[in-house]
Chains A and B, each alone.
Chain A
């Protein structure tokens, strides 16, 4: 309450005093008055608010102040307000757009006869409404029935602007959940910590449904000052499945295993950097397609043995890719070889066979997604220390 009253006091110096001529050009009848009323651009209402207090409350208060004072110039105000929607951090909230569209008078702009229905009735206002809805669509804010009713009450059931909101209401829900790799409800609109986001990202990337995520807190000992404690964010989120552990157990002694990274992945609008642990491909041949000529199709001479063979044969697991076999994935809070070393130590607890492998850590290479050239193996390779070093 106090905030809104202080804001209304701030606005008074920029708005026209009530009872004056309703236009922004105001000529003072008393030039000797100490407080001069100047020509003020509508955007000053939003600019005047200091940056720290630019939030949803301030924005809605500005709209409320406009509504109670002015009966005209909705379009200019809304267009100015749209420019500040992102600055005030309210661009992803439905209430913002509802408040903006509620500024339009209800019933006045609904076409009454055929000519008004044919021609774009109140074109400036309709275009302004479409701009607001465009901004809403651009930021991915899903509309609901209330905002549809606001637009219908302002412009009529089958008008240009209402068609826009009707189309949004038809198409946006259809495509909202088309991404089957993430559950948006867990991620959007929630203040997730970096570790939680990393967990979601690893879950999205892991194609084996039996992947388990581990959160490993790395503490480097007590920090000197308590103020640094919250900055010391040292953790690893590791993702590995039973199948991957079995593959590691079955690897030959001395197999070259590389820890590569960091690579970039986006989960909704957040970018996460992850690392992967891979080994060379297990099988030499990698066939995606079966032979499909006529002879193969209609040759039924071995039908029984083929049928029995397929039943007992081991299919290729999803970890076995054409150029590499993925053994584990992780997200580090600090992308360096020391974290990778600690991660390997952690993985060794469940896969003791890792100790016998040649693990190459290549974290410090920098962010390069899908390196087009083959990475030089001999450059800056740091071998993971074996169990002779004590774990920290």
Chain B
């Protein structure tokens, strides 16, 4: 603990006292590749050290590309809202080295995207876009048959951020489905910061070329979200994420519980889009609005039902269905409060 604190201190002091160091005689410069607070991902080590021996009389000269001792913060946006996520340091040289490879992959993706633009003139597609859907018309968009389809889904749990002891995995089965399973633990990490623990989640990260968002516009005119799943009786939570443009709205989502009845029978769980309530970073908001699917770019299924123990949810497909008798626009009150009101804090 003391060693890590010393390293952190070293970082901050280096940023402040850049000029004064030129006079001092530094024998060995050591720098960690990533910050101590940055979470460890599988396969990546957090304690790679870059070191360089200084010759007699040499001072640390700042260079344009990859100077030792010069902190370079390439300002990762802190999308996950976790302390230390954006505290990474990397040599600019390395970033430039990786660029051609990344660009090649992304341009290929972009090419595929352009060639598959939905300019369909099929009557069914036009009617779907305009809202002329028949009763019980459905589409199953996200399946779990191939490894590529499963790789779109990323798992997360509290132990990833060293805030708990849950475990999570997302594995394919021989039936062409995938199982979201693991063990939930509400044991609290004794670091004085964490108060509650125990969550596990899978999130769809289906991005277009250059990490652009894909929106669920195709689902715009359907009334219900349909998930074919087989649970274990626990109550999961479905979240439709709509992070939008500014960092204030990055936590915007619309949630609803996904109750499972367990057992060997498959469950076609239909949740009307009108029933989703507005949450920000998982917290229910006072001011409610109904979900607009043109802003939604991701979907996730979470388990945080405050019960310890193993869990398993088998997913066959996720899609939408239209129920023409469903006329409800939103299940929650949408009146607006007068100007000087108490909903502020």
A residues with CB within 8 A of B? 138-140, 158, 160, 163, 167, 171, 174-175, 178-181, 201, 204-207, 263-267, 269, 271, 274, 276, 278, 288-289, 292-294, 297, 318, 321-324, 326, 329, 369-374
Contact = CB atoms under 8 A, between A and B. Distances in A.
Interface residues of B, number: 41
Interface of B: 122-124, 134, 137-138, 140, 171-175, 179, 181, 196, 228, 230, 232-235, 257, 259-266, 284, 286, 306-307, 309-310, 312, 314, 332, 342, 345
A91 to B, nearest CB: 11
Contact of A321 (B179, B259, B264, B286): B264
A369 B259 contact: no
A89 to B, nearest CB: 17
B332 to A, nearest CB: 8
A265 B263 contact: yes
Contacts of B263: 204-207, 265, 274, 276, 329
18 contacts: A139-B306, A163-B345, A179-B259, A181-B261, A201-B233, A205-B265, A206-B263, A206-B265, A264-B232, A264-B312, A266-B234, A271-B309, A276-B264, A278-B264, A288-B140, A292-B137, A297-B124, A372-B172
Contacts of A278: 264
A223 B284 CA distance: 57
Contacts of B173: 370-372
Nearest to A206: B263
B234 A181 contact: no
Nearest to B306: A138
Contacts of A371: 173
A231 B196 CA distance: 38
A233 B232 CA distance: 25
A369 B124 contact: no
Instruction: Give the 3 A-B residue pairs with the shortest CB-CB distance, closest first.
Output: A205-B263, A265-B262, A266-B233
A138 B261 contact: no
Given A163-B342, A167-B284, A180 B230 contact: no
Contact of A294 (B123, B264, B284, B286): B123
A372 B174 contact: yes
A140 to B, nearest CB: 7
A179 B345 contact: no
Contacts of B261: 181, 204-205, 207
Contacts of A372: 171-174, 179
Contact of A158 (B138, B175, B284, B342): B342
A289 B321 CA distance: 11
Nearest to B195: A134
Given A167-B284, A179-B257, A293-B124, A370 B345 contact: no
Given A179-B257, A179-B259, A369 B312 contact: yes
Contact of B307 (A269, A323, A374): A269
A103 B232 CA distance: 41
Contacts of B286: 167
Contact of B235 (A179, A276, A370, A374): A179
B264 A201 contact: no
B233 A265 contact: yes
Nearest to B316: A322
A343 to B, nearest CB: 16
A370 B257 contact: no
B89 to A, nearest CB: 37
Given A167-B286, A372-B171, A266 B345 contact: no
A326 B137 CA distance: 28
Contacts of B171: 372
A181 B266 contact: no
Given A178-B259, A374-B174, A207 B342 contact: no
Contacts of A289: 138, 140
Given A160-B345, A181-B259, A205-B262, A370 B233 contact: no
A87 B181 CA distance: 30
Given A160-B345, A321-B265, A371-B173, 12 more contacts: A140-B306, A178-B257, A179-B259, A201-B262, A204-B261, A207-B261, A264-B312, A266-B232, A274-B263, A369-B310, A372-B173, A374-B174
B266 A369 contact: no
Nearest to B178: A372
Contacts of A139: 306
Contacts of A179: 235, 257, 259
Nearest to B271: A178
A293 B263 CA distance: 35
Q: Which of B228, B230, B260 has the most CB of A within 10 A?
A: B260
A204 B306 contact: no
Contact of B266 (A167, A206, A274, A321): A321
Nearest to A294: B123
Contacts of B124: 292-294, 297
Contacts of A175: 257
Contacts of A373: 174
B342 A322 contact: no
A167 B277 CA distance: 14
Contacts of B172: 372
Contacts of B284: 167, 171
Contacts of B310: 264, 369
Contacts of B332: 174
Contact of A266 (B137, B174, B266, B307): B307
A236 B345 CA distance: 55
A204 B265 CA distance: 11
Contacts of B228: 288
Given A294-B124, A372-B171, A138 B196 contact: yes
Contacts of A160: 345
A321 B123 CA distance: 33
B262 A329 contact: no
A266 B262 contact: yes
A379 B184 CA distance: 32
A294 B125 CA distance: 10
A204 B342 contact: no
A236 B171 CA distance: 33
A201 B307 CA distance: 17
A347 to B, nearest CB: 16
A32 to B, nearest CB: 43
